[in-house]
Amino acid sequence: MRTKSPKIVSAALRLPKCPTGIQGLDEITDGGLPRGRPTLVCGGAGCGKTLFAAEFLVRGAVEFSEPGVFMSFEETGSELKSNVLSLGFDLAGLVRRKQIVLEYVYVERSEIQETGEYDLEGLFVRLNHAIDSIGAKRVVLDTLEALFAGLPNEAILRSELRRLFRWLKEKGVTAVITAERGREQLTRHGLEEYVSDCVILLDHRVNDQIATRHLRVVKYRGAMHSTNEFPFLIGDSGISVLPITSLGLNYEVSNERISTGIPRLDTMFGGRGFFRGSSILLTGTAGTGKTITASCFAQAAALRGERVLFFAFEESPHQITRNMGSIGLDLDPLVKRGLMRFHASRPTLYGLEMHLATMFKEIVAFKPAVVVVDPITSLLAAGTDAETKGMVTRLMDYLKGAGITTMFTSLTHGGQSLEHSEIAMSSLMDTWLLLQDFEGNGERNRVLYVLKSRGMSHSNQVREFLISDGGIDLVDAYIGPSGVLTGASRVAQAARERAEALIDNQEAARRKRELERKRSTLERQIAELRSEHESEETELERMDEQVGTQTRVLTAERTELARLRHADSETVKDRAPSKLKRGRAR
Partner 1 sequence: MKTNAVRRTEAASRRRSAKLWQLRLYVAGQTPKSLAAFSNLKQICESHLNGRYSIEVIDLIEQPQLSRGDQILAVPTLVRKLPEPVRKIIGDLSDTNRVLVGLDLRAAD
Which residues contact partner 1 by CB under 8 A? 103, 105-107, 111-126, 128-129, 147, 150-151
Distance in angstroms (rounded) separating the CA atoms of residues 574 and 558: 11
Provide CB contacts within 8 A for 255, sequence distance 6+: 275
Q: How far is CA 154 from the centre of its chain?
A: 57
Residues, the chain, total? 586
Nearer to partner 1, 157 or 201 (CB): 157
**Residue 65 or 115 having the CB closest to partner 1:** 115
Q: Which is nearer to partner 1, 111 or 208 (CB)?
A: 111
Of residues 125 and 509, the one with the C-beta less far from partner 1: 125
For residues 141 and 177, the answer to whether their CB atoms sit within 8 Å is yes
Instruction: Give the span between the Cα atoms of 139 and 166, in whole angstroms.
Output: 14
Residue 406 and residue 276: Cα distance in Å, rounded? 9
**Shortest gap between Cβ of 73 and partner 1 (angstroms)?**
10
Query: Is 329:471 a contact under the CB 8 Å cutoff?
Result: yes
> How many Cβ atoms are within 10 Å of 294's Cβ, its own excluded?
24
CB of 116 to partner 1, least distance (A): 4
Closest CB 314 distance from partner 1, rounded Å = 57
Closest approach of Cβ 102 to partner 1, in Å? 11
CA distance 330 to 334: 8
Backbone dihedral region of 341: left (phi > 0), alpha (psi from -120 to 50 degrees) or beta? Answer: beta
For residue 443, what are the contacts with CB-CB under 8 A and spacing of at least 6?
487, 488
Per DSSP, helices labelled H in 240-351 are 263-268, 290-303, 317-325, 332-336
Tell me whether residue 46 or residue 122 sits nearer to partner 1 (CB atom). 122
Nearest approach, Cβ of residue 230 and partner 1 (Å): 36
Nearer to partner 1, 65 or 113 (CB): 113
* Residue 117 vs 184, nearer CB to partner 1: 117
d(CA 542, CA 524): 27
What's the closest the beta carbon of residue 279 comes to partner 1, in angstroms? 57
Q: Least separation, in Å, of the C-beta of 209 and partner 1?
A: 43
CA distances from 328 to 323, 374, 473 (A): 9, 20, 12
Q: How far is the CB of 166 from partner 1 (least distance, A)?
A: 17
d(CA 6, CA 28): 20
Q: Is beta strand 33-34 parallel, antiparallel or unpaired with respect to 17-18?
A: antiparallel
Task: Please say which residue, 156 or 402, places its beta carbon nearer to partner 1.
Answer: 156
